[in-house]
């Protein structure tokens, strides 16, 4: 389901709601990675600790490349110095991996509106939920937002978006279950242009009859934007569930090869120990990570900030 509880909808009008700290939200990944491993600050790192750390980095889906870099550096430093500050060193290695993918999504001021955000990804990763969160975010920034119910494969998906749109006074362009997704998005583009809408966010299906089918459909939808206006400015936003670990990386490669991705949203970082997958994604794909999802509520979508993310993981757990 959509995941937004009514209570949160009522709270949305308040200015800055109480937010759990990022390190609280990343608790499972954080304690999986470093919990109980290092005593405070300066320490001597022995081989057993290094081996344990290596296992944990792999378990958290950080990927072999970053893991090797971390271990090599810690080994070298601990040879030079009997005592080192492992957390400081970890940040030195980890930050340059994530910094290149910290590229926030900014909606340009356009003469020819709207800016299209095409939201894609397999079933259940959090596309529709993310669309709701994004819509509120842009609305709070003073932008006019419209949604397109492009997941026509499931009747419930259309309804989910419509109900949410009604509750939040955001227009949703929809057709009936089974209608052509590209046509829905084309209609929505026309309506958005006519109504001077700043941002049109389009939902898409995550499951068709098979994977090839899904990719073909996505390519077709992608072309719809060009057909509407060859100069249309858009973002192709891939949503990935962090909890699926290496699978998320496989999905990202597939979607990127088939249609080309301009940004990633990594969801469900609050419920998983596999949050290290963001390092693998950064290492292997170098596609901007626009937002991270750290919960089901509307304000649980945060712009990705590399330094903040690493600091949240490195809070000493001892
Ligand atoms: N804990 C948590 N749950 C999330 C997050 N994002 C989405 N979800 C949940 O994931 C489930 C599937 O989301 P949905 O948006 O319907 O996925 P879709 O099939 O890709 O559209 C819902 O129960 C959401 O509440 C997140 O960042 N954290
Ligand atoms: Mg959906």
Which residues form the pocket of ligand 1, taking CB atoms under 6 Å from any ligand atom?
1, 3, 121, 123-129, 206, 267-268, 270-271, 293-296, 300
Residue 35 CA, ligand 2 centroid: distance in Å:
35
State percent of the chain over pLDDT 70.
91
Query: What pairing do the DSSP bridges indicate for beta strands 289-293 and 301-303?
Result: antiparallel
Over residues 203-257, the pLDDT tens digits come to 999 876 677 888 888 889 989 999 999 999 999 999 999 999 999 999 999 999 9
> Among 32-46, 177-191, 233-247, which stretch is predicted with the lowest mean pLDDT?
32-46
Between these two residues, 3 and 213, which has the higher pLDDT value? Answer: 213
Over residues 88-97, the pLDDT tens digits come to 888 988 999 9
Nearest CA to ligand 1 atom 6: 126
Structure tokens at 275: 């949050």
Beta strands across the sheet bearing 301-303 = 171-173, 145-148, 199-202, 115-120, 234-241, 263-267, 289-293, 301-303
| CA–CA dist 217, 238 (Å, integer) | 15
Query: Which residues place a Cβ less than 5 A from the ion ligand 2?
Result: 127-128, 157
State percent of the chain over pLDDT 90.
70
Structure tokens at 103: 């590229």
Ligand nearest 133 Cα, by number? 1
Atom of ligand 1 nearest to the CA of 294: 27
Tell me how long the chain is: 318
**Sequential DSSP letters for 271-318:** G-S-TTHHHHHHHHH---EEEEE-SSSTT-EEE--HHHHHHHHHS---
Q: What is the pLDDT of residue 18?
A: 58
Question: Exposed, middle or buried by CB within 10 Å (0-12, 13-18, 19+), for 315?
Answer: middle
pTM metric for this prediction: 0.91
Residue 295 CA, ligand 1 centroid: distance in Å:
8
Average pLDDT over residues 30-37: 88
Q: What is the pLDDT of residue 17?
A: 52
The rounded mean pLDDT for the chain is: 89
| CA–CA dist 265, 259 (Å, integer) | 16
Ligand nearest 301 Cα, by number? 1
Residue 45 CA, ligand 2 centroid: distance in Å:
47
Strands (E), the chain: 115-120, 145-148, 171-173, 199-202, 234-241, 263-267, 289-293, 301-303
Helix, strand, coil abundance in the chain, percent, nearest 5: 50, 15, 35
Over residues 102-138, the pLDDT tens digits come to 999 999 999 999 999 999 999 999 999 999 999 999 9
294 pLDDT exceeds 80? yes
Ligand nearest 159 Cα, by number? 2
Nearest CA to ligand 1 atom 14: 126
Preceding amide of 190 cis, omega within 30: no
Residue 155 CA, ligand 1 centroid: distance in Å:
17
User: Hey, which of 28, 134, 296 would you mutate to test ligand 1's pocket, going by the most ligand atoms within 8 Å of its Cβ?
Assistant: 296
38 pLDDT exceeds 90? no
Q: What is the pLDDT of residue 10?
A: 43
Atom of ligand 1 nearest to the CA of 239: 20
């Amino acid at each position: 389901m959509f995941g937004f509880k009514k209570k949160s909808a009522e709270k949305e009008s308040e200015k800055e709601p109480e937010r759990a700290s990022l390190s609280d939200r990343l608790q499972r990944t954080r304690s999986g990675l470093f919990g109980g491993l290092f005593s405070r600050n300066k320490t001597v790192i022995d081989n057993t600790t290094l081996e344990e750390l290596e296992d944990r980095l792999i378990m958290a889906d950080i990927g072999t490349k970053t893991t090797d870099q971390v271990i090599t550096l810690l080994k070298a430093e601990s040879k030079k110095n009997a005592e080192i500050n492992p957390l400081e060193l970890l940040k030195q290695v980890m930050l340059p991996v994530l910094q290149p993918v910290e590229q926030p999504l900014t909606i340009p001021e356009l003469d020819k509106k709207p800016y299209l955000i095409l939201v894609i990804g397999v079933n259940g990763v959090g596309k529709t939920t993310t669309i709701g969160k994004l819509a509120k975010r842009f609305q709070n920034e003073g932008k006019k937002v419209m949604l397109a119910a492009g997941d026509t494969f499931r009747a419930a998906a259309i309804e989910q978006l419509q109900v949410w749109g009604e509750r939040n006074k955001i227009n949703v362009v929809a057709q009936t279950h089974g209608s052509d997704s590209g046509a829905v998005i084309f209609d929505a583009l026309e309506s958005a242009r006519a109504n001077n809408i700043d941002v049109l966010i389009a939902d898409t299906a995550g499951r068709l009859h098979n994977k090839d089918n899904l990719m073909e459909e996505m390519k077709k939808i992608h072309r719809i934007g060009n057909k509407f206006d060859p100069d249309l400015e858009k973002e192709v936003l891939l949503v990935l569930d962090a909890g699926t670990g290496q699978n998320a990386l496989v999905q990202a490669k597939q979607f990127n090869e088939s249609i080309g991705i301009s940004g990633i949203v990594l969801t469900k970082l609050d419920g998983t120990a596999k949050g290290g997958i963001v390092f693998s994604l950064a290492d292997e794909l170098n596609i901007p990570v626009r937002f991270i999802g750290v919960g089901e509520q509307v304000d649980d979508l945060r712009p990705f900030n590399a330094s903040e993310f690493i600091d949240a993981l490195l809070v000493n757990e001892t």
